[in-house]
Structure 1
Amino acid sequence: MTRTPPSARIAARRIRRLLAIGLTVVIAAITAAIGYQLLKSSASSSVTSPLQSLRTDKRGALGEADGAVRDGVTVFDDEIPAVANLDPDLVKALRQAATYAADDNVEFYVNSGWRSPEYQNQLLRKAVAKYGSEEEAARWVATAATSPHVSGDAVDIGRSQAIAWLSRHGAAYGLCQIYKNEPWHYELRPEATDRRCPRMYADATQDPRMQQ
């Protein structure tokens, strides 16, 4: 019977140990790479507006009946007041656009739609606290008396893919971005279907409607 020399057995154990270490390193590298890609994909799937933190702060927040929107709401969710209380023509245009966007695997999520005056005023108070002044807050949040959200004439669309789709095709449905600093904010401009969307304001403080 031939016996394996001790030196050979030790070498074999070292080789197995090195192979195990190498395999562990490879698995860790693959896991890290996959995690990075998932994180990168998640980050690019949405566009974060300054209002997002105001909406997600639940302390003293008003509820769904006042226009608060939970994650995953789409333009087809009639049971959600933020959608149901929008101007019917705006909803119709949104749903027509969303139907065609679905062919490109794009879905229209709603970050905010109709808001009650109470909810709008709450957002404005939080914006003033966040930005430190009424002047800076006004760039992002209107008063209840002037906000097109309160009148049901504006919607904030979620997810970067939908925003990009609307920036290219929205005018064909009369859906126009109104403010340069808010790529998610869309309103209905029916004349845009024959021409083009009107020139955007730099922010809401440049909108004559906000001067009332």
Structure 2
Amino acid sequence: MTDSEGTKHGAVPDGTTVFDDGVPAVANLDPALLTALRQAAKAAADDGVEFVVNGGWRSPEYQARLLAGAISRYGSEREAARWVATPETSPHVSGNAVDIGPPAARTWLSRHGAAYGLCQIFRNEPWHYELRPEAIEHGCPPMYADPSQDPRMRR
């Protein structure tokens, strides 16, 4: 897959922000998630913090490549499932998840994200955020240890 093909399938060029509508990984996010991210990013910028998108929407093909790489790296499907979901279960494929960096942005989101409905879902992935609108009033739900513990991943 060439760089432009990769970007078309969800690879994220370095330095991509939540405002980069020309990048499919951002443009294809769920509109409510993207709105919340942009609101949070504007508030974070007032604190001198910039959000960088390291992962967002992904095509099923790209997600399958990431999973194959994880299986190779971790030695089994079971161990890879702690880090990478299948194309059928990944919230990235549906546009419902975003991976945010750098560490300062993640720290800002861990403190303020619930006010925007943005919650860290997995304890082992401090970069992975999803929209939970109920968090605005009730706070973020308890985190799963890793994706293999999330019932959504068991299809």
TM-score (normalised: structure 1): 0.71
Corresponding residue for 1:82?
Answer: 25
The letter of the residue matching 2:59 is S
Consecutive unaligned residues of structure 2, counting only runs of 5 or more, are: none
8 Å CA contact 1:62, 1:119 repeated in 2:
no
State the Cα distance separating 1:108 from its structure 2 match: 0.6
Q: How does 1:56-135 map to 2 (within 5 A)?
A: 63-135=6-78
RMSD: 1.5
The letter of the residue matching 1:149 is H
Which structure's residues are more often helix, by fraction? 1
SS at match of 1:83: helix
Comparing 62-71 with 89-98, greater Cα deviation is found at: 62-71
% identity of equivalent residues = 70
Consecutive unaligned residues of structure 1, counting only runs of 5 or more, are: 1-57
The letter of the residue matching 1:75 is V
SS at match of 1:111: strand
Q: How does 1:4-15 map to 2 (within 5 A)?
A: none
State the Cα distance separating 1:78 from its structure 2 match: 0.4
SS at match of 1:144: coil
Q: What per-residue deviation string (whole Å, max 9, x for no partner) do you get for residues 88-144 of structure 1?
A: 000000000000000111011000000000000000000000011111100000000
2 CA distance for matches of 1:130 and 1:62?
23
Corresponding residue for 1:171?
Answer: 114
Q: Looking at both structures, which has the greater relative contact order when contacts are Cα pairs under 8 Å and sequence separation is at least 6? A: 2
The letter of the residue matching 2:45 is A
Corresponding residue for 1:154?
Answer: 97
Q: What per-residue deviation string (whole Å, max 9, x for no partner) do you get for residues 148-207 of structure 1?
A: 000000000010000000000000000000000000000000000001100000000000
The letter of the residue matching 1:109 is V
1 CA distance for matches of 2:78 and 2:142?
23
Aligned length: 155
TM-score (normalised: structure 2): 0.97
State the Cα distance separating 1:59 from its structure 2 match: 8.8
SS at match of 2:89: coil
SS at match of 1:149: coil
Corresponding residue for 1:29?
Answer: none
